[in-house]
Amino acid sequence: MAAEVSASSPGELEEDFLEERLSKPITYSPEVEEAISQVFKSDDPLDSKDFNPVDYINSIFPTEQSLANIDDVVNKMRLRIRGLDEEIRTVVRGQTNIGHEGRQALDEAQQAIQQLFAKIIDIKEKADKSEQMVKEITRDIKQLDHAKRHLTSSITTLNHLHMLVGGVDSLVTLTRKRQYGEVANLLQGVVNVLEHFKKYFGIAQIRELADKVKKIQSELGTQILADFEEVLSVKGIKPPSGPNSQLAEACQVVNVLDPKVKNELLSWFVKLQLAEYQQLFNESFEVSWLDKIDRRYSWLKRALVKFDEDFQGTFPLEWHVEERISEEFCKITKKDLSKIMTARVQELDVKLLLFAIQRTTTFESLLAQRFVQHGYEEKGDPKEKGDKPKQSKFLGIISRCFEPHLHIYIESQDKNLSELMDRFVQDFKSQGIPMVEGDGSNVVFPSAGELFVFYKKCMVQCSQLSTGPPLLSLTAAFQKFLREYATRVLNNHLPVKSTGGLASILKDSGEVKFSKEEQSLTCCILCTADYCLETTQQLEEKLKEKVDPELAEKIDLNGEQDVFHRLVA
């Protein structure tokens, strides 16, 4: 039986399989039916998902007479079924062949992959061999490249060494001959070349060359200072032969040397230029006193003109020698004036003090305008934080020495204010009640305006002298005489029946009678007190603007404002 089954042909097995499957109804889900209808569009009722056999048969045999050809219809149906069966068998056989072909294609693909993998391995092996060959070929080239770089570096270093050795020898010769023009350029080049040998300072020969360069620099500094002293030995005045080119070239060498050499040279030169000034204005001479202070400043002006004539082109402009001379002059002058004023303090008076301060501040302003760039001390934009221009160092550089003696000025103003106050009282007594038009409700005593004009002049003048403690002392004097004015000029001249102030006048208005003049006087006093109250507030604001910021909080005129406010209220 097994033999019979195995002997059956594939075609017979397929037919049996189809007959078995076709004997059962085939049903599909609605989604499949919908998909089939979209792919295979057909008008055949048999393809409809809502196919009804009864309706279909009735459509074929609508009447009894049509049943006469039923045999023909059945034969047609059988032929159609047989055709469909044949088509199905063909499709199934085709699918069987496709599966076989797919397996065959898969086997071929696997074989192709294996062959490709083998080729990749072969290519990789060849690439490794090629890389090794390239490394072997380029190994010698790299060695040659390294050798070239090392050779180039060695040649450069050798050239630098040759330049260094030759430069050192040349410097020794040129220094001995004082050929500073050639020394300046050569020394700068030697210093630059020496920078390349810093990492070789451990080598004795290189270290020896570096020490030689330092020694030459030291000798140059000493020699140049000696040359300046020799040439300018006669009171700092240049020889009549005109500008000395050797000194100008020496200054170019100094620019290459240690900055200490330049500072030492300039310090010596500035001191030499001011030696005559210190001799002429020695504190033991009468010319050094404040009444002849103009002569000090005139001396510097002449000295700067003389310097420009004698030393033009000698010193580099960036050294700012004129500015250095002026600054040192100011420092010496400040020190000398402080010393002499302390020694002769009994001879000081306000007129002499103000004269000296005025001349000094004018001189400082001239220096500030002349040296507006702040010269050698500034390395960048001469501005402080906030992009505000920095104040010149010359403003106040001398005049600060007068601050300890400004009490003389304050005492003088105190005396002037006292005399002014006495005059106000005397004028009031001698002139009596002022004659005013109307009820006097808008009239302010002229003395009040005169007092505050005097205050303004004093404040402006003092702020030009100092914005520090002296201005606070002047403020205290202002406070003193504001109270005195309120008491002696205003309150003391209220009508006798109204000495208690305006409030008592109002309280007793029903009983006390005042003359027209007394009423007018009372109104004038109250208007003046109100004016003084308002102006005192403005005075306080101005004083705070003038005084140093750290002292502004110490200015307080609220007490004086209260005095005038009580008069009004």
Tokens of 361: 């501040």
Angle at 491 between CA 490 and CA 492, to 5 degrees: 95
Mean pLDDT of 62-83: 82
| Mean pLDDT, residues 56-74 | 80
User: Longest C-alpha distance within the chain, in Å?
Assistant: 168
More confident residue, 434 or 167: 167
Condensed to tens digits (0 to 9), the pLDDT of residues 510-568 reads 555 667 777 888 888 889 999 999 999 999 999 999 999 999 999 999 999 999 998 88
pLDDT of residue 342: 92
CA–CA distance, 201 with 190 (Å, rounded to integer): 15
Of the two residues 156 and 490, the one the predictor is more confident about is 490
Mean pLDDT of 191-205: 78
Rounded to 5 degrees, what are φ and ψ at 383? Answer: -135, 150
* Residue 7 pLDDT: 46
Tell me the per-residue pLDDT of 391-432, one tens digit each, with 9 for 90 and over. 788 988 999 999 999 999 999 999 999 999 999 989 888 876
Whether 339 has a pLDDT exceeding 60, the answer reads: yes
Q: 396 near 465, Cβ under 8 Å?
A: no
The whole-number average pLDDT for the span 41-66 is 76
Tell me the C-alpha to C-alpha distance, in Å, between residue 86 and each of 36, 90, 91, 200, 259.
21, 6, 9, 103, 116
Count of CA atoms in the C-beta half-sphere (13 A) of 200:
15
Tokens of 558: 């609220």
CA distance 456 to 536: 11
pLDDT surpasses 80 at 239: no
Query: Token digits for 203?
Result: 């080598």
pLDDT-above-70 percentage for the chain: 83
> Could you tell me which residues come within 8 angstroms of residue 320 by beta carbon, excluding any fewer than 6 positions away?
371, 375, 376
Closest CA to 488 of 439, 448, 544, 543: 448
290 half-sphere exposure, CB direction, 13 A CA radius: 30
Altogether, the residues listed in the chain come to a count of 569
Q: Cβ(180)–Cβ(248) under 8 Å?
A: no
- Residue 563: which H helix or E strand, with range? helix 558-568
Residue 236 and residue 272 in contact, taking contact as beta carbons nearer than 8 Å: yes
In the prediction, which pLDDT does 498 show? 44
Other residues' Cβ atoms within 10 Å of the Cβ of residue 566: 14
Q: Which of 152-161, 169-178, 231-240 has the lowest mean pLDDT?
A: 231-240
All domains of the chain in start order, with CATH: 266-373+393-401 (no CATH), 404-493+514-568 (1.10.357.50)
Give the pLDDT of residue 303.
93
Bridge partners (DSSP) of residue 389 are 383
pLDDT score for 321: 92
More confident residue, 485 or 217: 485
DSSP 222-236: HHHHHHHHHHTTTTT
380 pLDDT more than 90: no
352-356: long-range contacts (C-beta < 8 A, 24 or more apart)?
352/290, 352/291, 353/290, 353/402, 353/405, 353/406, 353/408, 353/409, 354/409, 354/461, 354/465, 355/290, 355/291, 355/293, 356/290, 356/291, 356/293, 356/402
pLDDT of residue 266: 93
For residues 373-389, average pLDDT = 53
Q: Count of alpha carbons within 13 Å of 461, Cβ hemisphere only?
A: 18
Task: Enter the pTM of the model.
Answer: 0.65
**Residue 141 and residue 3: Cα distance in Å, rounded?**
82
